[in-house]
Every structure is written in structure tokens, then in C-alpha cells.
Amino acid sequence: MAVRKLKPITPGQRFRIVNGFDTVTTDKPEKSLLEPIKKSGGRNNTGKMTMRYRGGGHKRRYRVIDFKRDKFNVVATVSTIEYDPNRSARIALVQYADGEKRYIIAPQGIQVGQEIVSGKGVSPEVGNALYLGEMPLGTVVHNVELRPGQGAKMARSAGAYAQLVAKDGKYAVLKLPSGETRLVLQTCMATVGTVSNSEHSLERSGKAGRSRWLGRRPRVRGVVMNPVDHPMGGGEGRQSGGHPRSRNGMPAKGYKTRSKKKMSNKYILERRKK
């Protein structure tokens, strides 16, 4: 997979860097695995705007993804690799030996026709899902569960992966994409390999209109607002705005907001890098 830089025949294409889509094999999703998405435009149930800078965008349908991989010891064949408008990674349509079809997050390097399987005692090959306790040290994984049977919660976006660095009692020690080192129960499932579409971070939209297609409205800086609207607003001319903080006064740029009493603190061995 590679990114492409377009010829600047229009101003919007001058700085645009697009994805090659060369790994995508079809543009028609599996109808039985589609669900409607209702957009809120950032409004709550009373119609009040509670999240700014959202609204519009192209209509989407949700692809139901199997994050649990709980169909154990049944071989599945990869039918297609597809684009998903709801996430940065590619998805793969797999068909099990009994005929059932499911979508999974496509690992890097997976091919159409490849066979994958999940469950206890499965070999740690790309695309296979198994328990962390059965993986050899150094294995690169994604779609990691936080609680057994809950479904994947960590390392799900494009190019993301975690690494199994040690085993300690009933826990596995994982180095996460953020740089954090964390304890996870060895009975949690994970999928071997790296998430696909690793060049996603190299893309550049090229124009403001593309953000509108994605449902993002223009963001207004706090310093250009009035004092009634933002702590950093007001002043004659271009004032610096004082200490950087959010609209409700929470300091930014280094201020720790994580609770010291949070239950999961005891599972974190090393905090993420700044």
C-alpha cells in the first residue's frame, strides 16, 4: 500500500496526499452486515449543542465488526478487503466453514483467500486470534481485550500494534501504541499482527471542504473569542490570551487530568510518553 501525491491542477490538489487503495478488492459491502447510523450533529436529546464543530458530512452505514472473535476453532477464509468510512483501518470480510460471514479489522499483509482461525491452541500467525497467555514473548498484536470476553478495546486504529514483552503470574505485560506499559490478564484475546493501512498518518486532505465531507465543521480558536465566550478571549489587538486552557477553564499543555484514585492505575507499570 502506498500514498500518492496528486498533480496540482487545482488549488485543493496542490498539497493533497491520498491513499492508494491498492489493497481494497471491492467497493460493495456485505448487505447483511450493514446497519444505519443516525447523526446527531453534536446535539443531545433536547436539541442543545453539547459538542461543537460537528455536523453535515456524507451519509454512512455502519459495518458490524467482530471484535470478539468468539467463533473458536472454525476456519475462516478471507473473501474481500474493504474500505470502512467509520474507521482509519481497512476491514476484511471473512467466511467461516459453516457459511457465516463476519467483518474483522484487517491485519497488515492479509490476502484474499488466506485462512484464519481463533481459539485455544491456535498457532500465532498473522490474522489468528488467541489468548495472550499462549503467545510467545515479543509477539506483535492488535485488537487487545481489556477484560476476558469483552471484545477488543486497544490497538484498533490504522497501523497500531502492541507488543507482548513479559508474563507475570496471571498477567501479560503489554507495551501499548502510546508507549504505556500495562498489565492485561493472560485470558484476554488478541489478534496477531499489525493493523492495516499504516500510511494513514501520511495523508493530507488538501482543502477545508474535505473536512466538511467527513462531518467536521470549522474550529474557532479561543483567543479570537470575546471574554464572555472563552478564558483566553478578549484584549486589544492580538493579545497572547494568557495561560492556555479549555473553554471551561481546564489548563492545557501538560496539566494531568487523570484521577489519582482511578481503579486501573494499579495495572499501569509505566505511563505513556509525553
**What does the domain layout of the chain look like in residue ranges?**
3-201, 220-265
Backbone torsions φ then ψ of 202, nearest 5 degrees:
-90, -10
267: helix, strand or coil: helix
b/e map of 29-49 (b: 16 or more CB within 10 Å)? bbeebeeeeeeeeeeeeeeee
Q: What is the C-alpha separation between 222 and 94, in angstroms, rounded?
A: 47
What pLDDT sits at residue 1? 53
pLDDT at residue 274, as a whole number: 67
Give the residue from 196, 214, 197 showing the smallest Cα distance to 205.
214
Strand partners, 120: none
Cβ neighbours, 10 Å, residue 3: 14
Sequence-separated (6 or more) residues with CB below 8 Å from residue 10:
none
CA angle 234/236/240 to nearest 5° reads: 65
**Nearest one of 213, 190, 176, 193 to 89, comparing CA atoms:** 193
Q: Please tell me whether residue 46 adopts helix, strand or coil conformation.
A: coil
| Segment holding 209, helix H or strand E | helix 208-213
What is the mean pLDDT, run by run of 10 residues, along the chain of 274 residues? 88 92 93 96 96 96 96 96 96 96 96 96 95 96 96 96 96 95 96 95 94 96 92 87 90 92 95 81
Q: Which amino acid is at 3?
A: V
DSSP 133: G
pLDDT value for 40: 95
Give the chain's length. Answer: 274
Q: Are strands 76-82 and 115-116 parallel, antiparallel or unpaired?
A: antiparallel
Q: Which helix (H) or strand (E) holds 212?
A: helix 208-213
Superfamily of 3-201 according to CATH: Nucleic acid-binding proteins (2.40.50.140)
Which CATH number describes the domain made up of 220-265?
4.10.950.10
pLDDT at 12: 93
Instruction: Specify the pLDDT at position 238.
Output: 82
Residues 230, 42, 198, 181, CA torsion sign: positive
